[in-house]
Structure 1
Amino acid sequence: MTERILGPVHPTAAATSALRPLFLGAVAFAPDSLFGGWQERNASRTLPHCVEHLDTAGALDNLRRVTGEVDGDHRNMWFADSDVYKTLEAAAWQLGRTPDDAELRAFLDTTAALVAKAQEDDGYLNSYFTVDKPELRWRELHWSHELYCAGHLIQAAVAAARAGVGAQLVTVARRFADLIVERFATVDDVDGHPEIETALVELYRLTGHRPYLDLAARFLDLRGRGLLNGERFGPRYLQDHVPVREADEVAGHVVRQLYLLAGVVDVAVETRDDELLDASRRLWADAFGAKTYLTGAQGSRHRDEAFGDPYELPPDRAYGETCAAIASFQWNWRMLLATGEGRYADEMERALYNAIAGSTALDGTHFFYSNPLHLRTGHDGSHEDAPSRRLPWYSCACCPPNLARLVASLSGYVATTDRGGLQVHLYTAGELRTTVDGSDVHVVTRTEYPWDGRVELTVTTETALTLALRIPGWADGALVDGAPADVHDGYAEVRRDWSAGVTVTLELPMPARVVRPHPRIDAVRGCVAVARGPLVYCVEQADLPGGVTLEDVRIDPAAPLFTSTATGTAAGRPPEVPVTLTARGSLEPPSSDELYGAHPGAPGEPVELTAIPYFLWGNRESGPMRVWIPVATVG
């Protein structure tokens, strides 16, 4: 049964999608693979942690106030219901993988019952507005998040329906969705926080009920027409300054913008609206051409959690919200399905291995909300908006349950099919079972990716299958079965007679490399970063000699980089760091303490720099870190 579960995004047969996602159970990660480890940690640590904190932090009590089970004030954010729904979605996807988890099933069933009990007779459901602000229901959509919360409820219900659990949740979500259609189908209103659009499309895909899709399309066409009150941060913050079809730059609150664009692609492929898809392409070019960090993070401004100007990418002040990286992953997945172009899978990989993976500690129970690329010496990390280390929870707790739902469904993003073909986008050890043109296909993948670029795929099928293997943009000189890969749109296609089982070997060269920033990124001019394969690396204070200040370190970009296998905790590093990089550099402390005195650079004492993957930083003692390292002074 689990092998037939549809994943989070499943376009209808009539949609103009180039690729088709696999069933969620089609891919099984090897337990000792990085993805397999993440999924096990998510199931055993992160998801139970989220369930616990929904109770202790008050999100469930907010709903219990509606039902009369508890008294007191509403706790934390007025949109905390969404944290409940994201955790329910994560639980549904996990139950699709491990249906015998009695404890998780009990959480889903009891919470779905609570949500049903809190729903009003007409279908409305929002704990804050039902109890505290009933007179403002639907009245202040620029900040209320009513439709945003509804969107996450709908996505949880879709997951429950596809996993075959929580039937009561599906009933609740459809009653609310029907009310929303009745209320908004003929009025010019939109929500200040996009999310409902992509949720309604997926509910349409689940049920076939056309009004859900029509309303999603209507919300997109109303966006950007000045309907929202932008008194605090202005209309750009709400993407209400220009119609979606006319926009030529991503702007404002990053998560809002990216969730909106996910909905744009969903509506575009289901309604065959090429103009909408072209708008998404245009905005993608702006986002990834001038407003994305090396790690795949987006959002350079803390004040309004927003995109900055082109090339405004300060590493120390990076907001890089975890939810923004997840939203970017989701948007790129939809663009990949719509077009089949490998550049979107490249961005999925970059965000996943760096910005998304780095947000969670190795214990699975501590998280970053913002993800800087530089933590300064002396940084005041006392506030949760910019802490020095990961925290167990936040007053705005959107990120932990968002991570839980993504990782629980991660197997659904690895590969796709089209007529006569199978495409592999993300590499990991494990097995894949699907059908292509009615024939069973079995793929066994052996690899230590991302630590090693060798990927062996043994394919068995009776069909005339074309196997398309993504060749990442960083992989110069990729080989397929020892011959140079012939790459088109980011993929190398392999055609064989697979009936007896054939092993294809992909070799992606992974030399350590120096990355130089665009010269218009003023904040890191004169700096370089180091990377290997899909992983961005960083230098932590913990790997520097005693008495050395991280800001005094310089790197020699002309010197060779060395790759070494870490010796685990014996070297003072987390054991989950199989590969470290070593660079040559120097120490160049300031010549005086004058803040604006002359400090001519001079070659300093040589120093060896050890770099670890960015996603693993902060798992030792709290201390400074940087991705972009100043270049050594030439004597």
Structure 2
Amino acid sequence: MSRSPQAKLHPVPVRAVQLTGGFWAQRQRLTIERSIPTLLTLLEEHGVVDNFRRLGSTTNYVQRRGPLYTDSDLYKWIEGAAWSLASKPDVKLEATIDQLVDVILAAQQPDGYLNTYWVEDRAGQRWQQQTGGHELYCLGHMIQGAIAYYRVTGKRKLLDGSIRFVEYLLRETGPGKQPLLTGHPELELALAELYRTTGDARYLKLSGYLLSGVEQERLKLRPSQLEYMFSGSPFVERTHFEGHAVRALYAATGAADYYLETGDAAYWKTLERLWADLVGGKMFVTGGVGSRASGESFGDSYELPNRQAYTESCAAIAGFLFNQRMLAATGDAKYTDVMERALYNGINSGMSLDGTLYCYRNPLASGGEKIRNPWYDTCCCPPNLQRTFAALGGYFYSTSKDGLWVHFFDNSKLDWKLESGTRIQTETKTGQPWTGDVEIVVSPEKAETFTLYVRIPSWSEKSVIWINGKPAEQKWTPNSYVALRREWKAGDQVRVALDMEPRLLRANPRVPEDYGKVAVQRGPLVYCLEQEDQPGTSVFDAAISMPAALVPEEKAGLLGGITVLHHKGLTFGSKVESAPLYSTKEWTARTPVDLTFVPYYVFHNRGPAHMEVWVPAVAAATVPKNQLAQ
């Protein structure tokens, strides 16, 4: 977005940020060293790579394996592996990617078309099942993987192959030709990125064509299809999020990219309306998205179930990307706040602490069913998580015409340049997300006046900032950026003390499952009760005693090193299971019990167990009438 006309903020390259230790460096290292290599082994074992080999080789391979969209899984893996090279160069991994690129392009048809499913006896069905064929979805991820690899290594073989496919589309499809539909939106944002990479405006125009819905009549789409796919009708006529959550949020991300390049006011008005719909009634406290397993879809506003929540990992990532574009357009911290909520909770939960198990869905309560698995036939989430964690540094900072923006706090070094051209280095040291102390050392190559924008999170109600040991003069509020404008010299120090007091969150009373309950948050992390930490008490019988006192304790040897929260709570007692389902009596929680909360992202890392995020809150050892034990 460095040249996007409507982008107020411009991301820094992934290679410009080094995570130097601590929370996210550990997750990124695990992604690079464990997750990426083991997933490639699984992609090989399940035939995903052979699906390409069989088309480009004279060797007799078995028939194609897996669902029709598996090509995209390999492309996403390549993107994640490419970003990992920006953080940790690896000659062997780069050679592996080069070999895979050759395998992929050997399967490309002479006219530029490339898909391992719609070939041979299915070749005559190309573009005939666009509502579910995933042809353009796979191409979108091919483009994104190719661009990532090109930006990191300068190698453009896969990028050129992607362009050949897009040129095929420009020749053979469009108004007056074969109509196009992204039954699963993804290509829209990939085309915007291809335009940014090549400067060819035809690619952006093609993205606008896909978003325009001009082919609705020719495609003869039903209202239910338009709702589910979140494509096929004019994007600017959308009033709320509906249908398949990942598709809808990818469509919105692509539309935001289109706005950033064109400035079309109708798109911005629609994007703001959709964002308000998302955060006003359709986003979980973990930043997860998608209420219904049926169709992996949004529900109605305030339909936010806990145990039945679908909350696909890919949907949380899609929401993260959507908010990143909205942030770039405005510099408004409310978008960063949503990004942070999703990243630390609903995205971070998607990969296990050992990097080999993944959540497809991330519910907010569990009866002990197995949720983490090493492989899914629909393997979209694992490589999506990998490309997110591998590229993390690129989301931490931005530049604007007047300065540098700090979005998230983690131990890191930035080596980039201000938009004035002045080289700048920063080093951040912090104990986030466990402690609230942050130190940022700012070192421009020469003394220069600019603004350092430091985000004050919504969860930090009492923040303090010092510059070179003196209190900052600027005023600020939670969920905003404090603008520190001055002449900065090498070695200038900014210290931030964030408020880490645990908070109890209450849902809107229109969310029926959470009425009378609270969720616990400390810093950016949402917490949960997991059965292993509550010996002798079912998590579903526990209640928070109000007013609540939550006491942090650092547990270096537990679950990779976490801070737990202890609470003197109450329980409904052991007779709940044997009690009548319905009763006229008032339920009471009288028995004291020691409760231990752990961060939500670590749930089920010790195996399947009962778990819940939203816990009944009771005062004076009683429960309000009709508030029964879960």
TM-score when scaled to structure 2?
Answer: 0.93
Where do 1:550-565 residues align within 5 Å? Answer: 550-565=539-554
CA distance in structure 1 between the partners assigned to 2:223 and 2:583 by the alignment:
40
Find the partner of 1:585 among 563, 570, 583.
570
* Matched residue type, 1:220: L
Q: Which one of the candidate residues 410, 424, 427 is aligned to 1:444?
A: 427
Which residue identity does 1:74 align to in structure 2? Answer: R
2:419 aligned with 1:419: no
| Alignment counterpart, residue 158 of structure 1, candidates 147, 151, 154 | 147
**Aligned twin of 1:214:** 205
Q: 1:299 aligns with which of 275, 282, 290?
A: 290
Letter in 2 for 1:353: Y
Q: 2: distance between equivalents of 1:492 and 1:581?
A: 33
| Aligned partner of residue 449 in structure 2, secondary structure | coil
After alignment, is 257-266 or 229-238 more displaced?
Answer: 229-238
Moved more, 511-520 or 131-140: 131-140
CA distance in 1, matches of 2:249, 2:214: 14
In the alignment, is the contact (CA less than 8 A) between 2:132 and 2:183 conserved in 1?
yes
Deviation of the 1:631 alpha carbon? 2.4
What's 1:401 paired with? 383
3-state SS of paired residue (2:110): coil
Deviation at 1:36, TM superposition (A): 0.8
Most deviating of 318-327 and 221-230 = 221-230
Q: Cα 1:35–1:156, aligned 2, differ >3 Å: closer, same or farther?
A: same
Distance 1:550 1:323 in 2: 28
Q: Kindly indicate whether the alpha-carbon contact (under 8 Å) linking 1:446 and 1:456 is maintained by their aligned counterparts in 2.
A: yes
What residue number does 1:433 align with? 415
Q: Is the 8 A contact 2:7 2:260 kept in 1?
A: yes
Q: Distance in 2 between matches of 1:147 and 1:423?
A: 35
Q: Match for 2:38: what amino acid?
A: H
Q: How far apart are residue 229 of structure 1 and its match?
A: 6.6
Aligned equivalents of 1:500, 1:602: Cα separation in 2:
61
Question: Which position in structure 1 is the counterpart of 2:234?
Answer: 243
Please tell me whether residue 537 in structure 1 is matched to residue 527 in structure 2.
yes
1:611 equivalent in structure 2: 597
* 149, 169, 188: which one aligns with 1:180: 169
CA contact (8 A) 1:47 1:87 kept: yes
Task: Say whether residues 1:111 and 2:100 are aligned partners.
Answer: yes
SS in 2 for 1:595: coil
Change (3 A) 1:223 1:584: farther
Q: Which shows bigger deviation, 625-634 or 530-539?
A: 625-634
1:279 aligns with 2:270: yes
- Larger mean Cα displacement after TM superposition, 129-138 or 155-164: 129-138
Letter in 2 for 1:454: D
* Mapping for residues 197-276 of structure 1, pairs under 5 Å: 197-222=188-213, 225=216, 234-240=225-231, 243-276=234-267
Q: Among 61, 70, 79, which residue is 2:50 paired with?
A: 61
Tell me, yes or no, if the aligned pair for 1:221 and 1:243 is still in contact at 8 Å.
Answer: yes
Distance 2:232 2:16 in 1: 42
Secondary structure (helix, strand or coil) at the match of 1:556 reads: strand
Change (3 A) 1:361 1:297: same
SS in 1 for 2:359: coil
Find the aligned partners of 2:457 and 2:215 in 1 and give their Cα distance.
35
Q: CA deviation at 1:507?
A: 1.4
The answer on 1:516 being equivalent to 2:506 is yes
* CA-to-aligned-CA distance 1:343-367 (integer Å, 9 cap, x gap): 1111111100000101111110100
What is the Cα deviation at residue 495 of structure 1?
A: 2.1
* AA of the residue aligned to 2:443: T
1:471-499 Cα deviation digits (max 9, x unpaired):
11121122111458623771001123322
| Matching residue within 110, 123, 130 for 1:121 | 110
Q: Deviations over 1:168-209 (max 9, x none)?
A: 211211101111222333244312000001001111111111
- 227 and 192 in structure 1: CA distance in 2 versus 1, 3 angstrom threshold: farther
User: 2:360 matched to which residue of 1?
Assistant: 369
The answer to whether the Cα contact below 8 Å between 1:87 and 1:405 also exists between their aligned partners in 2 is yes
User: Is 1:102 matched with 2:85?
Assistant: no
- Whether the 8 Å CA contact 1:251–1:257 is kept in 2: the answer is yes
Q: Do the aligned partners of residues 520 and 202 (structure 1) sit closer, same or farther apart at CA in structure 2, a change above 3 Å counting?
A: same
Unaligned runs of 5+ in 1: 1-10, 382-387
d(CA) in 1 for partners of 2:515, 2:269: 33
- CA gap of 1:596–1:108, structure 2 versus 1, over 3 A, is same
Partner of 2:626: none
Alpha-carbon distance between aligned partners in 2 of 1:64 and 1:195, rounded to the nearest angstrom:
25
Distance 2:218 2:512 in 1: 36
Distance 1:230 1:246 in 2: 16
Q: What is the alpha-carbon distance in structure 2 between the residues aligned to residue 236 and residue 593 of structure 1?
A: 44
Partner of 1:469: 454
CA contact (8 A) 2:48 2:70 kept: yes
CA shift in 2, pair 1:486/1:178, >3 Å:
same
**Partner of 1:110: helix, strand, or coil?**
helix
Q: Which position in structure 2 is the counterpart of 1:410?
A: 392
Does the Cα contact within 8 Å between 2:424 and 2:442 map onto a contact in 1?
yes
Q: How far did 1:231 drift?
A: 6.8
RMSD: 2.0
Query: Using a 3 Å threshold, how does the CA distance of structure 1 residues 285 and 585 change in structure 2: closer, same or farther?
Result: same
Give the structure 2 partner of residue 6 of structure 1.
none
345-354 or 217-226, larger mean C-alpha shift: 217-226
Which whole-Å deviations, capped at 9, do the CAs of 1:61-80 have from their partners, x for residues lacking one? 11122224343332221100
* Pick aligned residue for 1:574 from 559, 583, 587: 559
Cα separation, 1, equivalents of 2:407 and 2:217: 39
Query: What are the Cα deviations for residues 187-240 of structure 1, in whole angstroms up to 9, with x where unaligned?
Result: 443120000010011111111111101000111111794665767964311124
1:355 matched residue in structure 2: 346
Q: TM-score if structure 1 supplies the norm length?
A: 0.92
1:287: Cα distance to partner?
0.6
Q: Residues 223 and 597 from structure 1, CA distance in 2 versus in 1: closer, same or farther, beyond 3 angstroms? A: farther
Q: 1:592 to 1:367 in 2, by over 3 A?
A: same
Distance 1:172 1:242 in 2: 30
Q: Match of 1:138, SS?
A: coil
Q: Residues 39 and 284 of structure 1: is their aligned pair in 2 closer, same or farther, counting only changes over 3 Å?
A: same
1:107 to 1:591, Cα distance in 2 relative to 1, 3 A: closer
How has the CA–CA distance of structure 1 residues 223 and 629 changed in structure 2, closer, same or farther, with 3 Å as cutoff?
Answer: farther
Residues 86, 141 of structure 1: alpha-carbon distance in 2 compared, 3 angstrom cutoff = same
Letter in 2 for 1:574: L
Aligned with residue 183 of structure 2, among 192, 200, 209: 192
Q: Answer whether contact 1:230 1:238 (CA < 8 A) is retained.
A: no
Cα distance in 2 for partners of 1:22, 1:609 equals 43
Cα deviation 1:417-456 (Å, max 9, x = unaligned): 1112100001111211221112121111110111111111
Cα deviation, 1:124-165, whole Å, max 9, x if unaligned, reads 000011135111111110010000000000111111111125
Q: Which residue of 1 aligns with 2:279?
A: 288
After superposition, the Cα gap between the structure-2 partners of 1:553 and 1:136, relative to the gap in structure 1 and judged at 3 Å, is: same
CA-CA distance at 1:13 after TM superposition: 2.0
In structure 2, relative to structure 1, the CA distance for the partners of 1:38 and 1:601 (3 Å cut) is same
SS state of the match for residue 342, structure 2? Answer: helix
Give the equivalent residue in structure 2 for 1:549.
538
1:620 maps to 606
Aligned residues: 609
- The CA deviation at 1:17 is 0.6
| Structure 1: distance between partners of 2:408 and 2:78 | 26
* Identity level (%): 37
What is the CA-CA distance between 1:408 and the residue it aligns to?
Answer: 1.2
Q: 1:14 to 1:231 in 2, by over 3 A?
A: closer
